[in-house]
Amino acid sequence: MGRSESWNASRRNVLKGVGMAAVGASLPPVGAALAQGTAPAAPKGPKLLEMEGKARLSVLGDKPLVAETQAELMDDSVTPTDKLFVRNNGQVPDITGDPKAWKIKIDGEVNTPLELTVGELMSRFPNVTYQLMLECGGNGRSFFSPEARGNQWTNGGAGCPQWTGVHLADVLKAAGLKSSAIYTGHYGADPTLAGETDKPSISRGMPIAKAMEEHTIIAFKLNGKDMPLIHGAPARLVVPGWAGSLSTKWLNRIWIRDKEHDGPGMGGFSYRLTKTPIVPGTKGDEKDTVILEAMPVRSVITFPADGTRLAAGTKKLDLRGQAWSGEADIKTVDISTDYGVSWKPAKVDPAPNKYAWQRFTAAVDLPSAGYYEVWAKATDAKGVTQPFVAGNWNPQGYGANPINRIRVLVAT
């Protein structure tokens, strides 16, 4: 696409939390500044992660550490380990010694409570490798207006690396589920933010049916290598397509429950959507909520980066992106360069397996010099598509999946 450079330093905040009517007003007068040959005032950029083994992700919080993947770092088909987002609720546990000796307990509504080491998991059950989505339940939260409580994710609380582990179903079958088993409760070894080790920083759970799904695994490898500590070593759950908080890191116990789990992260407005739509910004009623399970349909343009300045004379843009939907394949991704008046289909690649994101590509016409917005809208196999704005506002901000938008400027 020729020489390109960013003309908007504030990528993280672009197009953030604005209704369609407000879009024009929210844009800095960059075009005018460029025309006059002056640089636009550079807003302060996001803080970037500095951690061995990790790319310079965008830090959303230090305590606990939360870092999202910038859209242009989501361009790989398989998310490299260094580019996978990080979401902690407490502290990173201090785990040393042989990872194969790490123990995981299965108890509660089972015939035979088990305590298995990672080494036993590896040798006793078939090992499987899948490319699976991991997405934070709050992904997209920053698009809500007014601001909803929590980390202000854009679209970067998501990644699709390759995980190796064992089917959770095999382990649960080995323990023998009682007929009273209806829900799981997950525990990890991380201390709370305050440093307590006698209570979980978060403990979520899922219905037994999701626990028995083929792609729900206890993983000990990430992209073919031993799981890094920051991503949950020695072993973690991966519950693809559903809120990432179910994918417990530093896993040491799965408690099989005879009722919906009630650990930290299961109550209040945590990981819950409102049943009756509420006025944005209002308090809402905790009792009128449902648990967020599958994540919504989403598309992210990964090339070019938002704010790219294209060389004079550019007439075509070869665009790339990723699209996914919690419990369905992506059927179509449509691209618009006229603010949603007309749409053209992108090419969508098939997924390597269920619960993997899908690459889309499109050759976009840019008939003249000047400013364009390029919009992407994914539709899944159930016919569910992305709204134009983040809707169904809820106090802790789940489910925001508006169409994705980038801005490009073709130089004159």
90 or 205: CB nearest ligand MTE: 90
* Residue 405 interacts with ligand MTE (CB under 6 A): yes or no: no
The CB-of-288 to ligand MTE minimum distance in angstroms stands at: 24
> Is residue 320 within 8 Å of residue 340, measured between CB atoms?
no
**Which residues 6+ apart lie within 8 Å of 147 measured at CB?**
17, 397
Q: 3-state class of 350 per DSSP?
A: coil
Cα 209 to chain centroid distance, Å, stands at 22
With the C-alpha atoms ordered 354, 65, 280, 404, is the resulting torsion angle positive or negative?
Answer: negative
* Residue 410 interacts with Mo ion (CB under 5 A): yes or no: no
The CB-of-247 to ligand MTE minimum distance in angstroms stands at: 5
Q: 3-state class of 60 per DSSP?
A: strand
68 or 213: CB nearest Mo ion: 68
397 backbone φψ class: left, alpha, beta (φ>0; ψ -120 to 50): left
Q: Return the residue nearest Mo ion (CB atom).
A: 136
Q: Return the residue nearest ligand MTE (CB atom).
A: 188
* Residue 190 interacts with ligand MTE (CB under 6 A): yes or no: yes
**Which residues 6+ apart lie within 8 Å of 349 measured at CB?**
358, 359, 360, 361
163 or 183: CB nearest ligand MTE: 163
160 or 409: CB nearest ligand MTE: 160
Q: Which does 304 bind (CB under 5 to 8 A by kind): ligand MTE, Mo ion, none?
A: none
Residue 218's nearest CA partner among 313, 124, 330 is: 124
The span from the CA of 371 to the CA of 106, in Å, is: 57
The span from the CA of 30 to the CA of 276, in Å, is: 41
In the numeric block, the tokens 């770092």 are attached to 73
14 or 246: CB nearest Mo ion: 246
40 or 99: CB nearest ligand MTE: 99
The CB-of-90 to ligand MTE minimum distance in angstroms stands at: 6
* Residue 299 interacts with Mo ion (CB under 5 A): yes or no: no
Residue spans of alpha helices (H) in 281-336: none
Q: Which does 249 bind (CB under 5 to 8 A by kind): ligand MTE, Mo ion, none?
A: ligand MTE
Lay out the site mask for ligand MTE across 71-110 (x = CB under 6 A, - = otherwise): -------------xxxxxxx--------------------
Residue 332's nearest CA partner among 380, 402, 404 is: 380
Residue spans of alpha helices (H) in 262-348: none
**Which residues 6+ apart lie within 8 Å of 258 measured at CB?**
108, 109, 180, 181, 182, 183
Tokens standing for 284? 């809402």
The span from the CA of 137 to the CA of 93, in Å, is: 22
119 or 191: CB nearest ligand MTE: 191
The CB-of-352 to ligand MTE minimum distance in angstroms stands at: 20
Q: Which of 30, 49, 136, 335 binds Mo ion (CB under 5 A)?
A: 136
190 or 334: CB nearest ligand MTE: 190
* Residue 136 interacts with ligand MTE (CB under 6 A): yes or no: yes
201 or 223: CB nearest ligand MTE: 201
In the numeric block, the tokens 């307590």 are attached to 196
Q: Which of 245, 247, 299, 394 binds Mo ion (CB under 5 A)?
A: 245
The CB-of-294 to ligand MTE minimum distance in angstroms stands at: 14
* Residue 292 interacts with Mo ion (CB under 5 A): yes or no: no
List beta partners, residue 364. Answer: 317
Phi and psi, residue 164, nearest 5°: -120, 135
DSSP 138: T
Tokens standing for 141? 């939260």
Lay out the site mask for Mo ion across 79-108 (x = CB under 5 A, - = otherwise): --------x---------------------
Q: Which of 244, 304, 321, 399 binds Mo ion (CB under 5 A)?
A: 244
Question: Residues 205 to 264: which contact ligand MTE by CB under 6 A?
Answer: 231-232, 244-245, 247-250
Which residues are near ligand MTE by CB under 6 A? 84-90, 134, 136, 188, 190, 201-202, 231-232, 244-245, 247-250
The residues of the shown chain that bind Mo ion, judged by CB under 5 A, are 87, 136-137, 244-245
